[in-house]
Amino acid sequence: MKRRTILATGAAAFLGGRAPAYAQGRTTRITYWCWSEHARGAQAVYPRFREQNPDIEVEITNLNPQEIQDKILVAMATGVGAPDVGLIIESRFPTYPPTGGLLDVHDHVAPREADFSARLRTRLKHHGRYFGFPYIQNIAVMFYRQDMFEERGITAPIETWDEWVGAGKRIRDRDRNRYMHQVSPGAVGFGPLLGYFEAAGVHFFTEEGRVIRNNRAAAEVLKVYHDIVRVHDICLLVTHNTPEHFVAMRTGRIAALHSGNWGLDRLEREAAADAGKWKVQHFPRWRADGPPQVGNWGGSVLVVPRANRNHAAAIKWASYLSADIEAQIGLWQNGYGLPTSLAAQRDPRMREPQPFLGQSMYEASVLGRDVFYTNLVRDWPRVQIEMGRQLDAMFQGQKSPDQAWTDFEAAMVRQYG
């Protein structure tokens, strides 16, 4: 084994690209894979980490989030190409611990269990041991153009979903080129759609991972999603993260943006000229008499693949991002990821206003709401892709929302039972 390693690295030293990361002198270099605003957040909180750990250098790599998930999965299967620390989308996390490719980090996470929510305490465990570090979470929120709302006599924040739809009609009546907010078809539309399901408090799967049959509640939510585009006609159908989506943001084609907290990062970059016009509010309550409940738009988890050798350094970096209050707050201020650390959430700095909004996003869109998390299963991409297909068929007019839900349920039963 040792000889093969030497052969592989020596003989292929030139052809083999880069040398493995071993401690050169006293500095350990580790790689960290994350995306967009998380890379920016990490860059912002990195200097302090360096001060505390001068012997560790972190290389922060910005990759597409879906690709990171796939690459890390494959890396664990092959032992090649895994980063030292990776950021995993929470909904896809369940697939990883059973592969045996993640480092058991129980001893580093369990001692501070009280600092994060009960949901994470269950989700990050596999057979009773922690395999991931809680990192940040994203609440589903609505950003809106205050100037456009005021023009049409709409007062924000809008409390319930029915009121939101009503306001949407006023926006549309005034100008047929403007819409209330955006709805996305396709597999990428599943993330936003989940926010609606969760605001309505709906599960698709039981806690054991079986499909809930004849899920009328879910079918209703899908119908609402369909109707706001095709019946009430208040929403712009545009695929998430495409050029058209960004253009809609910057030209005011949509009066509101349904997004996670990180949407602020997108607005800052795409609609910089409109600083001060955008504000944020809670996702509207699904029912006037229902709980003040919103959905999430994913959270992320830090994992340490076992394949690499720099476990100690990797754990230090992950722990820093996860537990250090300054780091967690820095991540909120620079990347708009909501801290999972309860202590960080209580810090008064969380309530500081964001310059672009002129208000505190935390107070306006997070506080005062319970976040609902739907039950997850393994191989989440299957769920995403299947729902994406049904959404496309539904929005193309090929099937009714009821039919789309029935077909989705049937496909899930075939996969998961």
Partner 1 sequence: MPHRLRRTAAPYLLIAPFFLLFGTFWAGPIVASFLYSFTEWRGITPPEPIGLANYERLLADERFFIALGNTLWMAVAYVACANLASLSLALVLDASWLRLRHLFRTAFFLPMTISMVVSAVIFQLIYAGDIGLIAKLLAVVGIEGPAWLRDPATAPLAIVAMRVWRTMGYYAIIYLAGLQAVSVDLKEAARLDGASEWQVIRHVTLPALKPVALFCVVLTSISALEMFDEPMILTQGGPGDATLTAVMFVYQQGFQFLELGYAAAASYVLTLVIVAISIAQKLWLGEKER
Partner 2 sequence: MRTLRRRRALEPSPLVQYAVLCGLSALLALVLMPWAWALLSSFKPRSEIMSTGFLPEVWQIGNYVELFTTTLYGRWLMNSAIVSVSAACLGMVVCGMAGYAFAKFRFAGNTVLFWIVIASVSIPPFTTVIPLFGWMAKLGLLNTYLVLVLPFASSAFGLFMMRQYVSTLPDELIEAARIDGCGELRLLLTIILPLARPALGTVGILIFISSWNSFIWPLVFMRTDAMFTLPVGIAGLNSEQMAEYGMIMAAAITSCIPMLAVFFLMQKQIIAGLTRGAVKA
Give 312 or 385: the residue with its C-beta nearer to partner 1: 385
Give the residue carrying structure tokens 């309530």: 351
Pick from 10, 12, 291, 415 the residue near partner 2 by CB under 8 A.
Answer: 12
* Rounded Cα–Cα distance for residues 144 and 284 (Å): 12
185 lines the binding site for partner 1 (CB under 8 A): yes
What is the closest distance, in whole angstroms, from the C-beta atom of residue 117 to partner 1 in the complex? 30
Q: Mask: binding to partner 2, 64-103, rule CB under 8 A, as x and -?
A: xxxx---x--xx-xxxxx----------------------
Give 128 or 243: the residue with its C-beta nearer to partner 1: 243
Sign, CA torsion 149/155/160/166:
negative
Residue 64 interaction partner, one of partner 2, partner 1, none, beta carbon < 5-8 Å per kind: partner 2
* Rounded Cα–Cα distance for residues 283 and 149 (Å): 16
* Rounded Cα–Cα distance for residues 409 and 416 (Å): 10
What is the closest distance, in whole angstroms, from the C-beta atom of residue 126 to partner 1 in the complex? 14
Residues 269 to 298 in contact with partner 1, rule: CB under 8 A: none
What is the closest distance, in whole angstroms, from the C-beta atom of residue 2 to partner 2 in the complex? 13
Interacting span for partner 1 (CB under 8 A) from 166-174, 263-271, 365-373, 387-395: 387-395
Pick from 50, 269, 351, 414 the residue near partner 2 by CB under 8 A.
Answer: 269
- Rounded to a whole number, what is the distance in angstroms from the first to the last CA of the chain? 42
Pick from 48, 203, 230, 389 the residue near partner 1 by CB under 8 A.
Answer: 389
Residue 185 interaction partner, one of partner 1, partner 2, none, beta carbon < 5-8 Å per kind: partner 1
- Which pair of tokens denotes residue 74? 């494959």
Pick from 156, 217, 343, 393 the residue near partner 1 by CB under 8 A.
Answer: 393
Cis bond before residue 157 (omega within 30° of 0): yes
Residue 393 interaction partner, one of partner 2, partner 1, none, beta carbon < 5-8 Å per kind: partner 1
Residues binding partner 1: number (CB under 8 A): 26
* Rounded Cα–Cα distance for residues 299 and 139 (Å): 8
Give 101 or 335: the residue with its C-beta nearer to partner 1: 101
What is the closest distance, in whole angstroms, from the C-beta atom of residue 131 to partner 2 in the complex? 22
Interacting span for partner 2 (CB under 8 A) from 11-19, 110-118, 194-202, 321-329: 11-19
Residues binding partner 2: number (CB under 8 A): 36
Q: Where does residue 118 rank: exposed (0-12), middle (13-18), buried (19+ CB within 10 A)?
A: exposed
Residues 232 to 261 in contact with partner 2, rule: CB under 8 A: 241, 243, 246-247, 250
Q: Mask: binding to partner 1, 221-250, rule CB under 8 A, as x and -?
A: ------------------x--xxx--x---
* Rounded Cα–Cα distance for residues 8 and 6 (Å): 5
Residues 137 to 176 in contact with partner 1, rule: CB under 8 A: none
Residues 166 to 195 in contact with partner 2, rule: CB under 8 A: none
Residue 107 interaction partner, one of partner 1, partner 2, none, beta carbon < 5-8 Å per kind: none
* Rounded Cα–Cα distance for residues 331 and 41 (Å): 5
Residue 346's alpha-carbon distances to 67, 116, 117, 338, 341, in angstroms, are 34, 12, 13, 12, 9
Q: Mask: binding to partner 1, 53-72, rule CB under 8 A, as x and -?
A: -----------------x--
Please report, as ranges, the residues that interact with partner 2 according to CB under 8 A. Answer: 4-5, 8, 12, 14-18, 31, 35-36, 61-67, 71, 74-75, 77-81, 241, 243, 246-247, 250, 266, 269-270, 272
Please report, as ranges, the residues that interact with partner 1 according to CB under 8 A. Answer: 70, 73-74, 76-78, 99-101, 185-187, 239, 242-244, 247, 379, 381-382, 385, 388-389, 392-393, 396
